[in-house]
Amino acid sequence: MDLPVMPPVAPMLAKAVPAIPPGMQYEGKWDGFRAIVFRDGDEVEIGSRTGKPLTRYFPELVTAFRRELPARCVVDGEIVIVRDGRLRFEELLERIHPAASRVRTLAERTPASFVGFDLLALGERSLLDEPLEIRRAALVEALAGAGDPVFTAPATTDLDLAGTWFSQFEGAGLDGVVAKPLDQPYRPGDRTMFKVKHGRTADCVVAGYREHKSGPVVGSLLLGLYDTDGRLQHVGVCAAFPMARRRELAEELAPLRTDGLTGHPWAAWADEQAQAGGRLPGAQSRWTGGKDLSWVPLRPERVCEVGYDHMEGTRFRHTVQFRSWRPDRTPESCTYEQLEEPVSYDLARVLGA
């Protein structure tokens, strides 16, 4: 491979802001794997946000890139999986699997798509120092003939339309809007763009915690919500605490610690077979490898309010933010019914925007 921009390249990033800033280019915030695609003839490499290659996990996209992309190019974008008109991040996670046979099966069962939103190189020319306005025009022209599963991300400079997208696109699984200065060159690794994400709150049961890597203080709280069958489901974690607060939390929660899992609503998670069925607090993750994911069970008697931005199925998509304890709420009142559900919006309409 011999391109004017060579892998690895750290993607340009965005910093969070509370409102959509004026005077920029706006795009939906895609909920997938950030990927920079390098194509030089038959040679294709898919670089991840961390610089590690994703190529082996998406063989169907490698084939599509050879067919749909210009012969020599570097394109920044997002790998997504679409089913029933929505993005499906959980199914995307399944692709990070060590067995090539499993990857091939999933590639056939739930094929991925690629949404391009920036062009870093074309032919012999690097576009890194060109302003976004020039790169965007070049991207649209370069991908004009591309077909499914390669798409060009919708973009606009209309602030009102961006506000509409912010509301509508969430129903298709997108989790906000990204704003990009039009005169900005591409700066790998820098947070020079802006992201506006949805903000909501929920009251959750605290049913356990993981200890911090530094010692016997709280690293993250394990959160639960009751489903319609009365089962407490693990929905995510909140983990951003100052060290002094971690020590305080360990003291506050000490009276709720149990000697074991007997009688705990998550007792089945101690069973290896049960862990294999889903994303559970004690289960090993493809992303964390051998990281210690053991946890301290608590009697599920305390409720806290957390801030979250997006749901993925029955779980919070990202780590949530602790707001406050809610002594006025009973654990049994913390159900999925309190969560705001976005109005459904077909992803095909987003890609056709």
65 within 8 A of 47, measured Cβ to Cβ: no
Reported for 55-59, long-range contacts at CB under 8 A and 24+ positions apart, including other chains, are 56/100, 56/103, 57/95, 57/96, 57/97, 57/103, 58/95, 58/107, 58/112, 59/103, 59/104, 59/107
Angle between helices 100-109 and 59-68 (to 10 degrees): 60
- Which residues lie across from 197 on neighbouring strands? 176
**In whole angstroms, what is the distance from residue 102 CA to residue 203 CA?**
38
Q: Is 29 a catalytic residue?
A: yes
Catalytic residue from among 29, 195, 197, 213 = 29
* Nearest in space to 151 (alpha carbons), one of 139, 166, 169, 162: 139
Planar angle of CA 184, 190, 196, nearest 5 degrees? 80
Q: Which residues are catalytic?
A: 29
